[in-house]
Structure 1
Amino acid sequence: MGEFIGADDITLLGVDFSSAPNRRKPIVIAQGRLAQDPSHTVILQDFTRLDTLASFFQWLQTPGPWIGAFDLPFGLPRELIDTLRWPGHREDKAPLPWERLISHLRHLSRTQLREVFRSFCAARPAGAKFAHRACDLPAGSSPSMKWVNPPVAWMLHAGAPLLLDAGVTLPGLRGGDPLRVALEAYPGHAARVVLGRRSYKSDDPAKQTAEREAARDLLLASMESGRHPLGIRLQCTDEQRKRMRLDARGDALDAALCLMQAAWACIRRHEGYGLPHAIDPIEGWIVSVPQP
């Protein structure tokens, strides 16, 4: 983003991604902008629901300037890539390692990927089956190669090729349109600091309880007050607040949390979006997560 573009001129986007979107479980996007005053307030403007990957790809073509925070992993663990000797492994000196890795992944089916990952895990000791990225432990996120509970590997498999094809910039991973910037986000990181181990959402109707709604209320209060590690205040309408509180799946609330991570990055856009100075070019990093 150029120096001539003011922070309040940049559209901010928070994306709660789904690897198989449909009407029941769509991709939910929160759109907003930073307030003109220096109070670090992000104004939530609207929610968008997309129920196909094709519509998501079309949406990615939206002209900038925008900064989006996407709740899906952008890369795979270095240990996994080096063991499999996939594009981007340590001895591979060819350029564009992330682009070549994603191009390799897209030509593998989920069945093929599952078998590769299972074989990798089977050769490892109990308690250390999965390889992790450097950002996983500080973020508290699931390993990006995990195909069950939650199947975040399928999110990468579905979403990363679309980001590549859309020509957006992914700081630390690839260059692209400087006015469309995509960053990896993880709403659970900010939520966990506020709620601890309390759950605030579930896709299972039997687990959509009053206790989880109360947790969403608490999380919303922290977001609106700015009393959380991001230090960003969320400004929303009564109707938007009600939507986030009553959405038992947590999709709208997660999109809003990603929006706040996009705002955090926007404030730091001239300092590398707040990302670590050195990022593994096939692992990536989750925005707003501190480097240990």
Structure 2
Amino acid sequence: MRPITGREELGLFCQLPYTLNEELADDLDQGRRRPEWMWMALLGDRLLARAAWWSRPGGDTPASLDVLDVDDSLPVPDRVEIGVRLLRTAMSATLPGGSTPPEYSRLIPPDWRDGASSRGIVEDRMAILERTGARLFVERLRLEWRPGTPGPEPSGRLAFRTPRNPSELPALMTRVLDGTLDAHSRHDLDRMSADAAATRHYEDELARYTSPKDWWRVAVLPNAAPVGFVVPAHNGYHAIIAYIAVLPEHRGNRYVDDLLSEGTRVLAQQNVPRVRASTDLGNVPMANAFQRAGYLNFGREINMTWS
């Protein structure tokens, strides 16, 4: 059990199939991954299991565990046991001592529960994580819009502008946390104030996107009162709707449709091949809004966390 020696071992590391394999070389080039964060369990030159962490470019410590695979031709008890041994070994060598491991993310098919094979792949990896102390946190929908997809026309009820100053968006983010259905936001609110949660989200994610901040939009009524906001961005992989929300006092009026239409329009003007987004499986109102806007559910994501 060891990390890869460098980029030259990516072929060996990619012996096990997964949708992120095609991104690993560029991730290493861009500093989103390091060889010492990419671990393998080997029997000779046969790859039995692997694990890899990801971070934003130049990050000193891993931000998420997003690759965990085992050879699915092995008997179930063996592959789970090997996965557990590899993950424990890799975590001990890679993560700061005494720290809580970063969140685990697995990209899965939208119908993963319907087939014995797809269900087994997901559940085996979850079993490995559970043996190391992780628990299911949330399941999310992965959504995609393609150019030419019809969607609702803007209602004309709202006007849009860019944020007036760097402090406006964090202030609006604080307000929309009231009544949020997002599992990560609700977890943050259990541990800190709304202002602290919004500030951390803004500084750790939104402010770090290198795409133009003049893509961001605040929606306002004719009297100039803000209704909500949308953050179109590019995350280094895809054009995305990074954040979309309506202020509590304006919910229930389908203003989210106008916001989503505007955010998608901004990104479509950049001639992108697709726009991606995600929302919690349990956030039915937001999922319905994306569906009305022509976004298709092309996959899901499992998040697991350690306490």
Asked if Structure 1 and Structure 2 have the same fold, meaning a TM-score greater than 0.5 normalized by the shorter chain, the answer is: no
Which protein is richer in strand relative to its size? 2
TM superposition score normalised by structure 2: 0.24
Bigger radius of gyration among the two: 2
